[in-house]
Amino acid sequence: MRLHEFQAKQIFSQYGIKIARGKLARNIEDVKKIAEELGGKVVLKSQVLVGGRGKAGGIKLANSVEEAVEIAKNMFGMTIKGHRVDKIYVEEQLNIIKEMYVGLTLDRANKGFALIVSSVGGMDIEEIAIKHPEKIASVTINPIFGLWDYQIREVLYLSKIPREYHKELTKIIKSLYKILVDYEAELTEINPLAIDENGEIIAVDARLNIDENALYRHPELKDLKDYTEVDEIERLAEEKGLNYVKLDGDIGVIANGAGMSMATMDLIYLEGGKPANFLDVGGGASSEAVKNAINIIAMDKNVKVIFMNIFGGITRCDEVAKGLIEAFDESKISIPLVLRLAGTNEDEGKELIEEFVKRSDAKIIVVETMEEGAKKAVELSK
C-alpha cells in the first residue's frame, strides 16, 4: 500500500526528518489560505499515487497567492496516468543548491533490504542508475541484525557526498530504517533529498510503501488508504476480495491463479487480441467469487467478450459453473463468454453449463484447451 506524499511526510517528520512547511488542500479555498500563510511563494504538488507526476505537469511553482489559485484551478480534476487529482499539497518554496537520493527497499535477491544513496537525485535517478552506475552506492541489510552504522559510513563514503553532510545524512538514514521496521514497509524513499541555501538537508518528496499483508498489525494505517482516485471497478473488485487490474483492451479475462491469469493474457496477445483486465479469482474459488468476477468484468464498457480459463486443482469446476450460471441468470449478461473448464469435477461442471445454455440465451462457448479458448475469444472480439 503506497501512501501519499503528504502522509509519508507527516510520518517522516515525526521521525525527525526535516520537511518544508506545507499543508494539504482539498479545494481552491484551501489553496488560497495555505498560500497566504506561506507567504505566496509556494509549490503545488498533486497528490496522486503514481510516479512521474513532475514530468506530467502535476507539480508547479507559484510566485503569488493569485498564481497559486490559478494553477490549482487547472490542477484539480486533471488526470495523471489515469489518476484524478483531488488533493494538492501546498508547500513553501525552497532554494535548493543540491539534490541527492536516499532509499531503503526490499531486496528480494539478497533476502534483506537494500540501502541506496546517490549524490544525485531528482526525476532522472533511474536513468542515472543505468547510465552511471558508479553514482549509485548501495549495501544489503540482513534484517535479523539490522542496519549497522558502518554500513551507513560505507554507502556515504562510496556516494562521494561531501563529508560535512554525513552526520545529518546518517541521522536521516537511521530514521528511514526505523520507519521501515516500525511500519513494516517495503520501501522508504526520499527523492530528491535536498540541501538548501542554509546547508539544511530537507526531504522534498517522501515515499512510503507499506506491506499490505502486515496491515493487521498496524490498524491505524488502514485509514490512510485512499480510494478516491482509483478506478471505480478496481475499488469494487478490492471490496469483493478479487485481484483485479484494469487494462485498455477489449477481452475480459478471468482465470484462477496469478500465473494462469498472466498466461491467459499472454495467449490472447499472441493471438492478436488485447486483454481488458487482469483478474485472478484465486485458488479454491467459490461460486460466489466467480459470480462477482463476471459481474465486475461486465461493468467494463470496453469488454466485447470474456475468456474464462479455469484449471481446477483445488478449485472445483462445478462450483465455477454454478457461479457463472448465477451471474448470467441474475445480471442478464449479454456479453459472449468463452469457457475453458478443466480439472477437478470437470464433467459435472460442463454438464451444468450444457443444461444452462439449453434453457437460456446466454452466449457461452465451451472450449477444450486454453490455447483454443484464446483463439476463439480473439475471433469474437474482432
Catalytic residues: 101, 189
**157 is a site residue for other proteins (CB under 8 A):** yes
DSSP-derived secondary structure letter, 244: E
Q: What is the DSSP string of 101-116?
A: EEEEEEETTTTEEEEE
Distance of closest approach, residue 312 Cβ to other proteins, in angstroms:
7
Binding other proteins (rule: CB under 8 A), the pick from 268, 297, 303, 341 is 268
Binding other proteins (rule: CB under 8 A), the pick from 312, 323, 349, 373 is 312
Return the residues of window 92-111 that contact other proteins according to CB under 8 A.
101, 103-109, 111
Task: Yes or no: say if 332 and 276 are a contact pair by the CB < 8 Å rule.
Answer: no
Closest by CA to 45, choosing from 36, 34, 58, 32, is 58
Which range, of 13-21, 229-237, 266-274, 296-304, touches other proteins by CB under 8 A?
266-274
Task: Yes or no: say if 283 and 314 are a contact pair by the CB < 8 Å rule.
Answer: yes
Task: Look up residue 9 and give its three cell numbers.
Answer: 511526510
**358 is a site residue for other proteins (CB under 8 A):** no
Distance of closest approach, residue 295 Cβ to other proteins, in angstroms:
21
Task: Look up residue 40 and give its three cell numbers.
Answer: 505566496
Position 218: which residue type? Answer: H
**360 is a site residue for other proteins (CB under 8 A):** no
Which range, of 39-47, 64-72, 261-269, 353-361, touches other proteins by CB under 8 A?
261-269
Q: Between residues 76 and 346, which has the closer beta carbon with respect to other proteins?
A: 346
Contacts of 162 (CB under 8 A, 6+ apart): none
Length, in residues, of the chain: 382
Return the residues of window 57-86 that contact other proteins according to CB under 8 A.
none
Residue 313 φ/ψ, nearest 5 degrees? -105, -85
Distance of closest approach, residue 273 Cβ to other proteins, in angstroms:
10
Task: Yes or no: say if 307 and 254 are a contact pair by the CB < 8 Å rule.
Answer: yes
**344 is a site residue for other proteins (CB under 8 A):** yes
Binding other proteins (rule: CB under 8 A), the pick from 131, 163, 359, 382 is 163
